Amino acid sequence: MGVGRSVLVTLSAGCTLAAGSFAVRAAHRANADPRAPLRDEARVREQNIAFYEGRLTRDPSSAFDLAQLASLHLQRGRERGDPQDVLRAEALARTSIGDRETRNTRAYTTLVSALMTQHRFVEARGWAERLVALDSTSLSARAVLGEIEMELGDYAAAGRSFGALYGRRANLAVAPRLARWLELQGQVEAARRLLRGALDSARAQPRLPREQLAWFALRVGDLELRTGHLGAARRAFRHGLAIAPQDARLLAAMARLEAARGGSHWRRAIAFGERAIAIAPDPATLGLVGDGYSALGDSAQAASYWRAMEAVTLAQPGGFHRAWSLFLLDHERRVPEVLERVREEVRTRPDIYGWDLLAWALHRAGLDQEALPAMARALSLGTQDASLFYHAGMIERSLGHRIAARDALTRALATNPWFPQAAQARAELESL
């Protein structure tokens, strides 16, 4: 999955937490503006954790308290980038479900979200299906299931799920997931309208926590950045940072935006990236900062950030995630190892980005004849992604298919003239 794809799970646990937390409700009653500053929301969350931990010392089998505490740990884990919080959330949610299987949707929702955060999508699907069976009226549960089907590459099932939800597309749990589905189908403008509408709706909900409101701005900006609209992306990210100035996801997004411009903008990319890493050590951002130092000629700093990226990635549950695999392939490192892992993963998760990663790994291994059919499957939905077209163009180039290579590289630059490999694409076009 590209950067940001699994972040959609925030809504499933986060919105439920905001609605049910005792201390947050008390804070809402005490303040004229119910949307408290982020630092206050974080303080309230820590108070809630202590509150429910205290209750569980007196009644360790309380399914309700276990579910509440699980949701709190998951939220904190995402904000801090701490995998131990995510694992704790998973364990607490499982214990809660073990104590009470029915009328316990919060525990199921948190468990599904924790598994998705760990990229354990096959297991998450089973639990999501159980959640939908328990409460088929829940739009959030049905949207999460559709998202998982999409992540697993079961596009027939995802199409049915999102088709049934289309009439409820204004719902904040449905809109961002449906927008991603539309984007995968190549319907970028429809996805853009849906996300902008969702952001407007989120702004109108004063009880929505600031970090969740900022997340909607992030989603809008990410789509604009992927499609090469840097000005619109910057406006969306700045809007999010005005709401949540220390949001690591938005700071990392600003780093990606500055990196897209390259040249002198690398210093700004590094500055934003280092601010993000200080809050949450995201592997992709560590890699980007390393690339920034490399572009500026500081190989020692670059190497230190790349080592940190590896350490953080391998410390996460699930270890070898796609961002790390793509980084290694782009830097032509450990190609046989990545190829073996990607071959294994695509058996259970054959989505278009899995096929793209397999095609790129085969290309890096010099197996372009094998890469070509894998790349065709990656392009099968009509997704307008410059990186997909770039990979296709480079594979065609290696096979000596000059016309096909030129067409694919031209499409990449037309889709997004600022994508990370744009300079390489232009150089290849000139050589063709």
Q: What is the average per-residue pLDDT within 308-335?
A: 87
d(CA 358, CA 188): 25
Q: What per-residue confidence (pLDDT) applies to 77?
A: 87
* Residue 40 binned pLDDT confidence (cut-offs 50, 70, 90): confident
Residues 115-171 pLDDT 10s: 999 999 999 999 999 999 999 999 999 999 999 999 999 999 999 999 999 999 999
| Segment holding 125, helix H or strand E | helix 121-134
| pLDDT surpasses 80 at 31 | no
CA–CA separation, 196 and 199 (whole Å): 5
Q: What is the pLDDT of residues 245-295, one digit of tens each?
A: 999 999 999 999 999 999 999 999 999 999 999 999 999 999 999 999 999
**Residue 175 above 80 pLDDT?**
yes
CA dihedral of 366, 367, 369, 371, whole degrees rounded to 10: -110
The set of residues, in sequence order, having a beta carbon less than 8 Å from that of 368 and lying 6+ positions away, is 362, 395, 398, 399
258 against 5, higher pLDDT: 258
Q: In which band, very low, low, confident or very high, does the pLDDT at 17 lie, cut at 50, 70 and 90?
A: very low
> Which residue shows structure tokens 């997909």?
388
How many CA atoms are closer than 13 Å to the CA of 28, on its beta-carbon side?
A: 15
Length of the chain: 432
